[in-house]
Chain A
Amino acid sequence: GNSVTQMEGPVTLSEEAFLTINCTYTATGYPSLFWYVQYPGEGLQLLLKATKADDKGSNKGFEATYRKETTSFHLEKGSVQVSDSAVYFCALMLTGGYQKVTFGTGTKLQVIP
């Protein structure tokens, strides 16, 4: 089956620190990979995605590279802000028509001034 494993949270960083949230996956096919962000009191927003090996998704200073050899899709940001405090979900979806989205457990990020 398909699964997504994220690093446990919460992650607490000082403003302007470097962020890495690890995500690895197992899939029976060739998935598209996503990062979603959920700000306090809000729904999920797509942060970035990648559809094939070596693709890099990027948005709002966040980046993640689809690494097929290590089955990983780690989220990074060079300098976090207080406004980045949220829960981040890694997810996968198999390609070829709609397939169920498999989510990781989420990683809570807290950025302190």
Chain B
Amino acid sequence: SAVISQKPSRDICQRGTSLTIQCQVDSQVTMMFWYRQQPGQSLTLIATANQGSEATYESGFVIDKFPISRPNLTFSTLTVSNMSPEDSSIYLCSVEGWGEVTGNTIYFGEGSWLTVV
């Protein structure tokens, strides 16, 4: 299995500011993924981050708004830029990992709960 730590766990942010979320995994993984969960909604994939290359963004998400870094095989950051109240969401980091019992599985961090005021 994979243990994923995210920071911050929660934050209240001012409109127009930017915040960087960190994701640390306890093992080396090829790809890391960032999701957004707006209040009361399901999860939407923002982008896929490969180590050593630019992130691949899903439709509706752009690098200027959500820049991502992936400096090594255990760490990634997502920045939410120029925040507005519509960015108030849970941001989740996820990885594909292997568990003896579960096999190939997708694991999630605890999420970073952002409120923009």
Contact = CB atoms under 8 A, between A and B. Distances in A.
Interface of A: 32, 34, 36, 42-46, 49, 51, 89, 91, 93, 95, 98, 100-101, 103-106
B26 to A, nearest CB: 16
Contacts of A98: 30-31, 96
B108 A44 contact: yes
B116 to A, nearest CB: 18
Given A49-B103, A100-B48, 6 more contacts: A34-B106, A43-B108, A43-B109, A44-B43, A46-B107, A51-B104
A51 B7 CA distance: 32
Interface in B1-44: 6, 30-31, 33, 41-43
A45 B108 contact: yes
A105 B42 contact: yes
A105 B42 CA distance: 5
Interface of B: prevailing SS: strand
Contact of B111 (A32, A42, A103, A105): A42
Contacts of B108: 36, 43-46
Contacts, number: 51
A58 B94 CA distance: 22
A37 B28 CA distance: 25
B110 interface: yes
B3 to A, nearest CB: 12
Interface string B85-108: 000001010101000001111111
B73 interface: no
A46 to B, nearest CB: 6
Given A49-B105, A98-B96, A101-B106, A89 B42 contact: yes
Contact of A43 (B42, B45, B111): B111
Task: Give the residue among B42, B48, B92, B103 with the most A Cβ atoms within 10 A.
Answer: B42
Nearest to B106: A101
Given A49-B102, A98-B96, A43 B43 contact: no
